Structure 1
Amino acid sequence: MENLPQDPMILLSYVNTELRDNCASLDDFCHLHNVDKAALMSKLKAAGFEYNAELKKFW
């Protein structure tokens, strides 16, 4: 995840923007950015954010 923003709020914004504009799913985002899905979800969960697959965003 070193190629993604490290600040949780900036990471949240970046991931949600990518999910909205460029990726069909969280799996697609992780593949595109070569990111471990569990690590990404854990980092954002530690900041208080959960992934909603139906809405396709963290909140």
Structure 2
Amino acid sequence: MNNLPKDPVMLLSVVNTNLRDFYSNLDEFCKAKDADKQEIIEKLKMIEYTYDEEKNQFV
């Protein structure tokens, strides 16, 4: 997750934008960005966002 924002709000923006524009699910995003899926989920949970598979975004 070296090239992803550390701030949860900024991370939310980057992840949701990428999911909307480039990736069909969170697993694809994490693989392409060499990011830890659980780390993203936990960081966004801190600001009360969870991943919705059906919407393919954090809500």
* Shorter-chain TM-score tier: over 0.9
Aligned residues: 59
- Structure 1 runs of 4+ aligned residues shifted over 2 Å read none
| Secondary structure of residue in 2 paired with 1:9 | helix
Shift of residue 46, structure 1, vs aligned partner? 1.3
Partner of 2:26: 26
1:30-51 deviations in Å (ceiling 9; x for gaps): 0000011111101111121111
> Quick one: distance in 2 between partners of 1:54 and 1:24?
10
**2:45 aligned with 1:54, yes or no?**
no
Map of 2:14 onto structure 1? 14
Amino acid across the alignment from 2:15: V
Identity percentage of aligned residues: 46
Q: RMSD of the TM alignment (CA)? A: 0.8
Q: Is the counterpart of residue 3 in structure 1 residue 3 in structure 2? A: yes
Q: Which runs of 5+ in 2 are unaligned?
A: none
Partners of 1:5 and 1:39 in 2: how far apart?
Answer: 12
